[in-house]
Structure formats: structure tokens, C-alpha cells
Amino acid sequence: MPHRRASEPQPPNQSPLRQGPRPLPLHLMAHASTLMGSNVALPLWKNGSLPWNPRLADKAAELKASLDAAGPDGWKCFEAAIEAETLRRHQSVLDGVALYRQHGYRRHVPAAPVVWSQGSTRLLDYRAGGGDGPPVLVVPSLINRSYILDLTERRSLVRALAARGLSPFLVDWDAPGDAERDFTLTDYIAGRLEAALDHVVALTGRKPAVVGYCMGGDLALALALRRSGDLKGLALLATPWNFHAGREAHGKLLHALGPALAGLIAVTRTLPVDILQALFASLDPGLTARKFAAFARLKRGSARARDFVALEDWANDGVDLAGPVARECLSGWYGDNDTMEGRWRVGGQVVDPAALDLPVLALIPERDRIVPPDSAAPLATAIRGAKTVLVRGGHVGMLLSARAGTEVYTPLARWLKRSLLQ
């Protein structure tokens, strides 16, 4: 249920701006199982068959012994307390969801000019006043909308780079149209991304640096290996590489889901956004409950509340993933760890970070749940001479928190200027 893109022209394959209440967040379904967890687990705990987290095992055993000693009345009181707390937390989440759906915020930012397009892909020009600063090609993920890099005027990586004297151009992939439904990663990288790079070079007369965020960092890396002679540097922001780092169970899950997902892709030619949202929600099933409960405690008109709504609108404005790309990423990356194992190929060539000969900066968020540091760090380690900087915050917080200006925007702009002026 993608809902809107408030300030940009609506492509034919995108639903118009919603004026009424927002739809329910796509990832809210993960909340239900979290809520039921305590009551479902209680009988297992009572008979001693629940496999506790080792860090909690001693406290759990101590509490169970105390309740056993208190007899049936002790357990009844405890069960009643668990039920009451579950209902209280459930209600706080529902309150947060209701407040979010009715919130008056709508995204309105100045639209960036479209300077090139091909199929569903556009190139947005964020140069301040048509400035002639060093050019930067910014590459987002294929999975989510590109405006995470231009969420609001206060929270915008591309506008921050422009304000610091650079000339940013943002790739906007949009949802795959009929042609893109059969795209592979090679089609996106060797086709669309290289064409966008050519346009930036022709428009500015200069070699740009390329900045990739999340999956966009992997795409940018492949571009840099193919076209290093046309680039001045590469910056990787929260870019995954070792997809099994701390996530071996998810690889096994994707292998198990493979036949079902393949059947769905064969029918729709895409992996629907609903499935993608469910898979990402599984990385941290309790996150939805925590964040909406916290939102319910904010003042409705506060800047923090508006920032939450802006981010949640983006998170619920996802796009389907082209079928072949979904197979490459879910089966090849997440399932088989092809990137780390040296098996990922673009245009027939292995994407080998050790072969890259460009200045490289890797910004790695310390509290990233989507791309844990152990997933991103091996990529920086594999690139000769790469500079690695750990930043506070999480996957999205690195871009949008109050610290983003001093910890990400400014250091990134300085590094880009040094690379581009060499």
C-alpha cells in the first residue's frame, strides 16, 4: 500500500497523494506476534521447557522458583500482571498508530529539476542555484524511495551537500515499470547507472564522485569498478557486504522461502513491497511496537513528531522489486552471501572490491540493525586504502538525526571536496 510522494511529479505507475487518513503501516503485522509472545511463552516457562536467553536464564529461574514457592495464587497474580501489561502496551501502540494516521504533516519540499530520465529512472539536479561545485552522483537503494536522502528541508543529505559547495545529482529509481520488471542488477548498473553517470559528466564537464547509501553502495561499488576512469572517488554509507554477519538464520529462512518466492515472482514479475516489508520487519520484530508507543508520548505538534511522521511515511512508501533483482539479492546476497564469497557478477565480471583503485570513504553506523557493522566493515577492509569512520546512530538515524550535520554531512562533504579537487 504505497501512498504518496508529496512534492514530486507523479509517475503513471504511482498512486496520487492521499489527503485522508494514512493507511495502516505495512510492517504493523509484525507487532501482533510480539504482543502474544509473553502469554504464549508463559506455560512453557512454568514447565521449564522454554530455552531462555543465556543472559536472562539465572533471573528467570530465580523468579520461577519464587512463584513456585508462592503456590497457585502467586502464579495467578503473575499471570494477571502479565496480561494487564500486555494490554497496556498493546493500547499504547494502537494509540501511536492512530495519532500517526491522523497527523497533519504532509511532505512539501521544493522539487528538484529532472535533468535526465530513462524508463522509470530519473536524475534529479540538486545544485544550489545551478552552482558549479564539484559534482557528486548519489545512488540510493532500489528497495525504497530515493527521497530518504531528501526527506525534509532540515533532513536532507543532498541539500546539505549542495549547501557545502558541492553539486549533487540524485538517482531516483522509482517503482519498476513494465520494462524494468525483467531487469537484473546488471541492467540497472551497466545500463541505467552508467547512463546517469555519462549525463553528469556531459552536463558538468567534470568527473564526479559517487556516493552510495545502503544497497545503493553496492550498486555504486560495481559502477566504480566498471568506470573508475570516469570517477574521482567513492563514498559508501551503511553498505552491506557480508550478508551472513550475525544473520545466518535469515539466510536459512530465505533458502526455505525460496520456492514460494520464486512462484510469486513468476506470476507478478516482481517481489511485492508487502513481502519485502515483512522480511525487513523480521530483522527486529519488536521495533514497530517500540517506536509507535514512543510516538504516542510525543507532543503532536513537536518537531520530533513531524520527523517521525515524515520518516514513517517514507518507510510505508516502498516499491516492488524487479523479479530478477529480487532473486539476485534475496537468494544470492542474503541466502548464499555471494558478495562476501566473491561470486557476485555484473556484466559477467566479479565485483571485487580489492581491485578498486579510487579514494574510498566508508561511513558505518554503530547501531545499525539493517546493516550491522560486521556486515559493512569487511567491504571497507577489502578496499586498499579505504578510510573507515564509525558514526553514532542507526541505519536511517545516521542521515536524519540531530547529529547528522556534524557527524555525516560535514565530514562527507569535506572528504568529497578533497577527492574531487585532487
According to the model, what pLDDT value does residue 262 have?
Answer: 84
Cα–Cα dist 167/205, whole Å:
12
The cell numbers describing 103, all together, are: 497527523
pTM for the full predicted model:
0.84
Cα–Cα dist 159/139, whole Å:
15
Ranges in the chain, pLDDT < 70: 1-20, 24, 26-42, 44-53, 56, 130, 247-251
According to the model, what pLDDT value does residue 38 have?
Answer: 57
Domain ranges across the chain = 27-102, 114-246+320-420
According to the model, what pLDDT value does residue 64 have?
Answer: 78
Amino acid (1-letter code) at residue 115:
V
Checking phi first, is residue 170 left (phi over 0); if not, alpha (psi -120 to 50) or beta? beta
Cα–Cα dist 330/336, whole Å:
9
**Residue 90 CA to chain centroid, in angstroms?**
26
User: Taking a C-beta distance cutoff of 8 angstroms, is the pair 212, 234 a contact?
Assistant: yes
According to the model, what pLDDT value does residue 261 have?
Answer: 83
> What CATH number was assigned to the domain covering residues 114-246+320-420?
3.40.50.1820
User: Taking a C-beta distance cutoff of 8 angstroms, is the pair 171, 97 a contact?
Assistant: no
Q: For the segment 332-388, what is each residue's pLDDT rounded down to a tens digit?
A: 998 899 999 999 999 999 999 999 999 999 999 999 988 999 999 999 999 999 999
The cell numbers describing 347, all together, are: 556484466
249 burial level (CB within 10 Å; 0-12, 13-18, 19+): exposed
User: Taking a C-beta distance cutoff of 8 angstroms, is the pair 415, 209 a contact?
Assistant: no
